[in-house]
Structure 1
Amino acid sequence: MENKRVILAVALSFAVLLGWQYLFPQQPAPLKQEQTTNQVQSNANVAGPVSSQLPDPASTAAIVSAKGTKLTVETPFYSAVVNSQGGLLENFMLKKFKATIHADSPPVDMVGANALNKAPMGLILNGIATWSEGVWGFEGSNLNLDGDKVGTLVFRGDVEGFRIERRLTFHADNYLIDEDVRIINMSNPSGMGRLAFTTATKSLTSKDDRYNPTRISWYGPEGLNEEKDRDDLSEKGVTASGNINWTAIDSNYFILALVPGSADVTMKGKLQDDIFRVAAEQNVSFDKGVERRLSCSYYFGPMDATLMAKVPGNLDKAIDFGWFDIIAKPLVVALEWFNQYVHNYGISIILLTIAIKILFWPLSHKSYKSMEQMKRLQPMIAKLREKYGDDREALNKETMQLYKTYSVNPAGGCIPMVLQIPVFFGLYRALMGTVSLRHADFIHFLPFTDIVWLADLSTKDPLYITPIIMGATMFLQQKMTPSAGDPTQQKIMMFLPLVFTFMFLNFPSGLVVYWMVNNVLSIAQQWMMMRKVND
């Protein structure tokens, strides 16, 4: 009875956890805004109060395309267009990622047509939208890079008494763009000022996607911070000052990041007209005739840990799986290792499931053995109930003595289930946040048909076949499990497969495949144990 209650409690807790995750996705931690009054070093002296608002360039940026020359940058990873009028980024197409699973789908555009009006990669100097002011020229030509080559474009402009040079370096083997900026105050009366590196993009995900929202994030001494509430981003935006390593617009799969070269900046983020904008601003002294040099790195691409680790400022910390990070990341490594041999993430998930099952095999063996022992003790426990009646204290004492005499752990049957819950959620977070699993194909068409089936393991099974099979295997497993306890408890346990099936309907199909295969392996293990006991 006690063993059955423990299993029931664990199973119900698991159901509650799943239901809570489904109905109420994890909310971000309260914003941590770090304020500082430090003087910036050498060429970045304090320039007075910093505005929390980004200037709105919508009225002028739309004419940029007509004024400037469009320069293209081609690499194995992306195709980009940069406008010579201030060095604005007009588009950034990822060659290795499609917008949808359809064969004729266009590549993912990290900017979007409407975002040009918010000036991606625009410099803001003392509140001046540099791309819409002054006269700009450029040095270089269209770039076509491959291998480990790098290429540079140089943009020079005179803006309200400031001479500006932007030197953008593109890398063929990464999504990284390095920028060096030189500014000379030729005639502007301002000796103090501020410079902001900025970027902007359309929403990277559907507005109503609560499992994969577009958010604004930043990283500093206190770790990773993020804001994904669209109302807050529209009304107030976010601001944080101090030693900010980077700030970004990101989703589960893609990121547009600014990595400032200065150690002391103010990051700002806002949602305007359904366009996400971020800026990394720093205070700078602009004495006349003195050249000031500043730098920033950009990363516009997938949430790829290997590539992001090559970017300064710990940008790879943007990949975070929450509470289950310590479990999810090793699972991702294991999946990638299997996939380099089988080249199919569905098969990789099956192999990972087998590996996990082998790891838990001794515990599962002890679990089934414990349940068989508990079943044999039920007649003795029934006699104890008859003997002690309503005397719960005496009944519990004698029951525990009975367990001790026969060396039975009443909770032994649920230990494997308890241990697999973190693995389950770790894999769930991995599937929802690993870009290599986005649009990962398993069985593209339903066998003997042209109906698209498991063409994307990061989304639900469109035909609901796998969750139904998963529920059936769970039901069969329940039927095979040694039952002990009153009929009411048994009915509740038999009802759980239906509950789980309902919750799994909208889970990533890769996760359902994992649980389904795990059930099949558990059934096989139980069958082997039952044969051994009966022989």
Structure 2
Amino acid sequence: MDNKRVILAVALSMAVLLGWQFIFPSQPQTPPAKQEQTVTQSQTAGSDASGPVSDQLPDPASTASIVSAKGTKLTIDTPLYSAVINSQGGLLENFKLKKFKQTIEAGSPDVDMVGTNALNKAPMGLILNGIPTWANGVWGYEGTSLNLSDDQIGSLIFRGDVEGFRIERRLTFHADNYLIDEDVRVINKSNPSGMGRLAFTTATRSLTAEDDRYNPTRISWYGSDKLTEETDREDLRETGMTASGNIDWAAIDSNYFILALVPGSDDITVKGKLQDDIFRVAAEQNVSFDKDIERQLSCSYYFGPMDAKLMEKVPGNLGKAVNFGWFDLIAKPLVIALEWFHQYTHNYGIAIILLTVVIKLLFWPLSQKSYKSMEQMKRLQPMIAKLREKHGDDREALNKEMMQLYKTYNVNPAGGCLPMVLQIPVFFGLYKALMGTVALRHADFIHYLPFTDIVWLADLSAKDPLYITPIVMGATMFLQQKMTPSAGDPTQQKIMMFLPLVFTFMFLNFPAGLVVYWMVNNILSIAQQWMMTRKVNN
């Protein structure tokens, strides 16, 4: 085994991993459908626990007309968002994030967490014993439109009589967070029901394009220290999802935004479905409704960015929604480092470059040993060639004498590939961080191509629209290969020189921030190799 062959194997393995990620993005694990169905049936036997997938929901076309005819629009304005709540049942009509735009185009509207047509599916509507309270009740309200600033908190109260039940919904809004707290009081005045079910719901249009494989809109839930996600739209359309038991929260989310329900009780049934291109989720719990006895329930809502700091302030382990999969332990420290650099540079592109320099310094001693090992391997090539001539096809004898040769000259044949092996997890960790950190969404580096008005690196989470950085990256990788001490047979050397072209092709559609990282890393490696070669030659 020689050094060049090991490096080639590592490089090809990385190419396969990158290609696999590019062609087949990873899908989250979901629990078996049959098992979920069995659990749900065992816990809801004898009750018509319908929630958002029930035929008891009103006709989708009727919800908006009911609300517009009976309700009053109340606005909530904070530094983070503006929202409209309808007094007819307390439905959420829109929830616009002031700090996030839909695109990078000038004049782009704010991101609306509800979206067009979602009102028909009753976001923040209460379902009581299968009854859509916003459609069947007579509602009034207490309070006025809210204009909150700094750390202010404000509340609105909605009261309704729905088929013998008296309901009071108190919604509390926070100016410094996307959190909405709800306290519900229900009194059975004349309904014959003894046991019942109350469901908190939310709904939104798709947060991402339907064909977006890297950033799908999904339904997720967390319970028993486990995050579960469902991204298959066909399954959500046809059968939906159901999960019961010890569940902390349920949500509709993407890589960058989330609409979460955090019920006060963890013994709930979560149901979700995709109906008419609107994602719906309900968190339902069983409640006893004895006559004239007041029942108090609670739920927290979070409609906003996947901001770990803000989500940690929400009850119910909502911060666990920020998850980078296999590379979570690597990606999260990288995000922290990027944010630390950004607070001084105010530019995530520069922050990525500084992070690359730090990573390179950490790997510097290993890289030095790597280059030294490659130089030693290069000097051993004439002796290895003679051994091959001597033993011919006797691979066992050849390998035995080669290992003795490495031992005699104190050479580690795998030493040259160690830095590359260690950097692969860092690379994928940064890839996950760039694809899943909302702060990097629409993060600007070099907005316009120098000396032109052509938009260039205006979004580090998206590909380079001009493909300049991946081409430069490929060129630096080619130069690095030319500078690498030559070892191995000519066929291996030709394959190694072909790898920059393969990597360039794969990097064309990768996030620009990731390409900047790899390009700068190559430039630093070239400088290090040049210094090492100069030192050896002198």
TM-score w.r.t. length of structure 1: 0.97
Q: Distance in 2 between matches of 1:59 and 1:80?
A: 22
Q: Distance in 2 between matches of 1:471 and 1:30?
A: 38
The Cα shift of 1:385 comes to: 1.4
Paired residue for 1:520? 523
Paired residue for 1:48? 47
**CA deviation map 1:361-410 (0-9, x unaligned):** 00000000000000001111111112222221111111001101111000
Paired residue for 1:145? 148
Paired residue for 1:5? 5
Q: Distance in 2 between matches of 1:485 and 1:134?
A: 80
Q: What secondary structure is seen at the aligned counterpart in 2 of 1:62? A: helix
Equivalent residue for 1:482, pick from 479, 485, 491: 485
Paired residue for 1:14? 14
Amino acid of the structure 1 residue aligned with 2:191:
N
Amino acid of the structure 2 residue aligned with 1:139:
E
**CA deviation map 1:400-451 (0-9, x unaligned):** 0110111100000000000000000000000000000000000000000000
Q: Distance in 2 between matches of 1:48 and 1:209?
A: 38
Which runs of structure 2 are paired with 1:79-478 in the superposition (5 Å)? 79-478=82-481
Q: What secondary structure is seen at the aligned counterpart in 2 of 1:113? A: coil
The Cα shift of 1:67 comes to: 1.3
The Cα shift of 1:74 comes to: 0.5
**CA deviation map 1:170-229 (0-9, x unaligned):** 001100000000000000111111000000000000111000000000000050000001
Amino acid of the structure 1 residue aligned with 2:152:
K
Contact kept in structure 2, 1:47 and 1:194, CA below 8 Å: no
**CA deviation map 1:142-164 (0-9, x unaligned):** 00111111000000000000000
The Cα shift of 1:318 comes to: 0.5
Contact kept in structure 2, 1:89 and 1:119, CA below 8 Å: yes
The Cα shift of 1:46 comes to: 8.9
The Cα shift of 1:39 comes to: 11
Contact kept in structure 1, 2:341 and 2:351, CA below 8 Å: yes
Q: What secondary structure is seen at the aligned counterpart in 2 of 1:177? A: strand
**CA deviation map 1:7-50 (0-9, x unaligned):** 1110100000000000001122132666669999xxxx997353
4+ residue stretches of structure 1 with deviation over 4 A?
32-40
Contact kept in structure 2, 1:270 and 1:278, CA below 8 Å: yes
Contact kept in structure 1, 2:127 and 2:133, CA below 8 Å: yes
Paired residue for 2:24? 24
Paired residue for 2:535? 532
Q: What secondary structure is seen at the aligned counterpart in 2 of 1:278? A: strand
The Cα shift of 1:110 comes to: 0.1
Q: Distance in 2 between matches of 1:389 and 1:141?
A: 90
Q: Distance in 2 between matches of 1:238 and 1:176?
A: 25
Q: Distance in 2 between matches of 1:337 and 1:4?
A: 38
The Cα shift of 1:65 comes to: 1.9
Q: What secondary structure is seen at the aligned counterpart in 2 of 1:436? A: helix
The Cα shift of 1:51 comes to: 3.2
Q: Distance in 2 between matches of 1:254 and 1:465?
A: 30
The Cα shift of 1:92 comes to: 0.1
Paired residue for 2:63? 61
Contact kept in structure 2, 1:123 and 1:197, CA below 8 Å: yes
The Cα shift of 1:474 comes to: 0.2
Q: What secondary structure is seen at the aligned counterpart in 1 of 2:352? A: helix
**Identity of matched residues, %:** 81
Amino acid of the structure 2 residue aligned with 1:5:
R
Contact kept in structure 2, 1:47 and 1:192, CA below 8 Å: no
Q: Which runs of 5+ in 2 are unaligned?
A: none
Q: What secondary structure is seen at the aligned counterpart in 2 of 1:18? A: helix
Q: What secondary structure is seen at the aligned counterpart in 2 of 1:282? A: strand
Q: Distance in 2 between matches of 1:288 and 1:282?
A: 19
Q: Distance in 2 between matches of 1:39 and 1:393?
A: 63
**CA deviation map 1:459-481 (0-9, x unaligned):** 00000000000000000000000
**CA deviation map 1:100-136 (0-9, x unaligned):** 0012000000001200000000000011110011210
Amino acid of the structure 2 residue aligned with 1:118:
K
The Cα shift of 1:59 comes to: 4.0
**CA deviation map 1:335-376 (0-9, x unaligned):** 000000000000000000000000000000000000000000
Equivalent residue for 2:506, pick from 503, 506, 509: 503
Amino acid of the structure 2 residue aligned with 1:451:
I
Q: Distance in 1 between matches of 2:233 and 2:41?
A: 32
Cα 1:48/1:478, change in 2 over 3 Å? same
- Computed over aligned residues only, the root mean square deviation of the Cα atoms, in angstroms, reads 1.5
Contact kept in structure 2, 1:46 and 1:284, CA below 8 Å: no
The Cα shift of 1:56 comes to: 3.3
Contact kept in structure 1, 2:220 and 2:227, CA below 8 Å: yes
Contact kept in structure 2, 1:47 and 1:284, CA below 8 Å: no
Aligned residues: 531
Amino acid of the structure 2 residue aligned with 1:10:
V
Q: Distance in 2 between matches of 1:109 and 1:50?
A: 30
**CA deviation map 1:467-515 (0-9, x unaligned):** 0000000000000000111111111000000000000000000000000
Q: Distance in 1 between matches of 2:219 and 2:279?
A: 8
Q: What secondary structure is seen at the aligned counterpart in 1 of 2:117? A: helix
Contact kept in structure 1, 2:187 and 2:292, CA below 8 Å: yes
Q: Distance in 2 between matches of 1:402 and 1:419?
A: 27
Q: Distance in 2 between matches of 1:12 and 1:242?
A: 45
Q: Distance in 2 between matches of 1:39 and 1:161?
A: 29
Q: Distance in 1 between matches of 2:497 and 2:129?
A: 68
Amino acid of the structure 1 residue aligned with 2:260:
A
Contact kept in structure 1, 2:49 and 2:130, CA below 8 Å: no
The Cα shift of 1:60 comes to: 2.8
